[in-house]
Structure 1
């Protein structure tokens, strides 16, 4: 009977999150509907001009999952409208996209191009996807090892962010149009493994907590101001950069063929990192510090986008079977973090929408990559990078509920 009631509640968009606590909407639906009500992630900037944005691509991924779960046409229509705002009838990608900048961030919208092409067979989406693929194949600079530069203006730098931005699309495109292209699968695997090998924290350093996780990025040339003599990595582990990479791991494993050795290689990385991420959570709150290498330091704080990304990645990793959790430690960590998120970072506006708090506006390696830089960046209410991550985390949490 309880299962039947819960199923009916889900059908009508209602989720009982805890046995003693009810909210009018599932948090996933509430977050998504709030973003839609504010016009976020719709392929337009705040002034109404077309914009190709990785934040929009992140939200579109969440809306796609919600559409597949709820069959609510609103989510699909919003995805399609958002892409149609930046892709012309002949497939040209506008919205400020320029191949001369050679950056990975815009490529995050690419999986939505592929999704719409699969559903509609409209050639404009294929043409748009081809443009992004051509950038990766022919225009994007690489290090001598083969890692994509994050952007042209950052020579020889690989950032964790870039794996999420570029390589999920790269994998999805290969799956859709070149499934037997072993060279492409090798290359995708290389992007993940090079990033891991060049950024993993190998030793404890003065005034830094050792977690065995990944620094924000690295400079293969060792020429930028922050490049450490050890592999050129940046000085700090920043939560959202690691969050991007963690989400990329769990998302790409459903795309890269299990018959290709890259699947096992990426799975090995995930299985190493997942328990370490769970263990790095603050023991009291259950969520994660902005600068993970210096937990508890003055001016450091619990940051919401990275925390939501970790919850999504950890819960999905266990649910799908990528990571074993025999004693329930990983799921328990994710659930504790999720409870903190809904109790501290979700604000009911009283009008059917919610606000999302404590997402840091940006994190870049175009400065000195120092602790003071990261903690000096302001937080933003309803920053889409965090709100979309919370929707994704909620989708996974709600898999536990039902």
Structure 2
């Protein structure tokens, strides 16, 4: 006799899945969107291609660019969280040429976008125990707060240092991901709180200087536009800092408050897909995936660490992650990534920016999200 599943059981099962979706379950995902699988695919895509230039430019780069660093760093964190020793070896082997045949590509800590490079050797040190990586990385972190040898702009640099800030201070919205990441990694590797403390203080000064009343950030003072990826850098930077910042740090309450304010505003500006537009507050803006992935990372991290109400924000994170996966093509490249963008003077300038496939600005935060979802 053929057995059938009782209707009441089917109804109960349907209710279970509905409850999971409504509660924002961050462990069980539809086929093709499992963070372990996605992270593996995107990581392998990364290691399969040599160092890249900016914005899909085909010519070889003359440096390891900061989007490359952010992707490399994300892949390393994913390797650790997933326990993927093969991937770790591949990522470490990627570093070897920078010590020899490709040493001209290694960054120098002479600019905020260059100094973030130090996060890669510091993460390698923490996973392999090779002290060579430690000394390379910690030098980058130290020199971010040391007067450069060049005397050009010395007075301005000294003014920042006298205020307890990095001499690399620019008050640009991507700075506080770059600074928070290298200084957080230096803290984790060395156990010296001076690194994380100065990054936290730097963050409060940036918040005082450039955060708007709604919690978002203009691209620049002369560009009063809430550009998606620019805000993504700040959201991810605050999340990265808060997840590593000791609970007793005096600047923590202020940073957490402003983070929460930003997340609340982002909650209100989601589009129908559950993602965010190229200009966050403009309903006619096209969905921009790199900034959306950075926001998603910041929200996942907030939910996982208890900073955000899981009943409100976990469903947002879940929907955003699933939606982002619809933009990953068969080559494991993220589509609809805004090309590198300088300060614009009109809404039209931002909406007309070229959209790139597989740009590392987008690959990086996909890996951050996958890792954050795997974390306990």
* Interval of TM-score (by shorter of Structure 1 and Structure 2): 0.7 to 0.9
Q: SS at 1:160's partner residue? A: coil
The equivalent residue for 1:67 is: 79
The equivalent residue for 1:313 is: 298
Aligned runs of 1:161-200 on 2, under 5 Å? 161-177=174-190, 179-181=192-194, 185-200=196-211
Give the Cα separation in 2 of the matches to 1:37 and 1:354. Answer: 11
Residue from 333, 349, 359 that aligns with 1:355: 333
Cα 1:81–1:125, aligned 2, differ >3 Å: closer, same or farther? farther
- The yes-or-no answer on 1:77 pairing with 2:86 is no
CA RMSD of aligned residues (A): 3.1
Give the Cα separation in 2 of the matches to 1:88 and 1:167. Answer: 29
Aligned runs of 1:230-245 on 2, under 5 Å? 234-245=223-234
Give the Cα separation in 2 of the matches to 1:316 and 1:186. Answer: 20
Q: Is the contact between residue 287 and residue 337 of structure 1 (CA under 8 Å) also seen in structure 2?
A: yes
Aligned runs of 1:1-400 on 2, under 5 Å? 17-18=29-30, 21-22=31-32, 26-39=37-50, 47=59, 51-87=63-99, 94-95=104-105, 97-98=107-108, 102-118=110-126, 119-123=128-132, 125-139=134-148, 141=157, 148=166, 157-177=170-190, 179-181=192-194, 185-202=196-213, 211-218=214-221, 226=222, 234-282=223-271, 284-296=272-284, 300-325=285-310, 328-343=311-326, 345-348=327-330, 353-365=331-343, 368-397=344-373
**1:247 positional shift:** 1.1
Q: SS at 1:136's partner residue? A: coil
Give the Cα separation in 1 of the matches to 2:28 and 2:298. Answer: 22
Decide which structure has greater helix share.
Answer: 2
**1:190 positional shift:** 2.4
Decide which structure has greater strand share.
Answer: 1
**1:357 positional shift:** 0.3
Cα 1:70–1:186, aligned 2, differ >3 Å: closer, same or farther? closer
Q: Which has the higher contact order (CA 8 A, sep 6+)?
A: 2
Q: Is the contact between residue 148 and residue 158 of structure 1 (CA under 8 Å) also seen in structure 2?
A: no
| Structure 2 unaligned spans of 5+ | 1-26, 149-155
**1:55 positional shift:** 1.3
Give the Cα separation in 2 of the matches to 1:148 and 1:41. Answer: 28
TM-score between the two structures when normalised by the length of structure 2: 0.78
Q: Is the contact between residue 69 and residue 117 of structure 2 (CA under 8 Å) also seen in structure 1?
A: yes
Give the Cα separation in 2 of the matches to 1:277 and 1:356. Answer: 21
Count residues in correspondence. Answer: 336
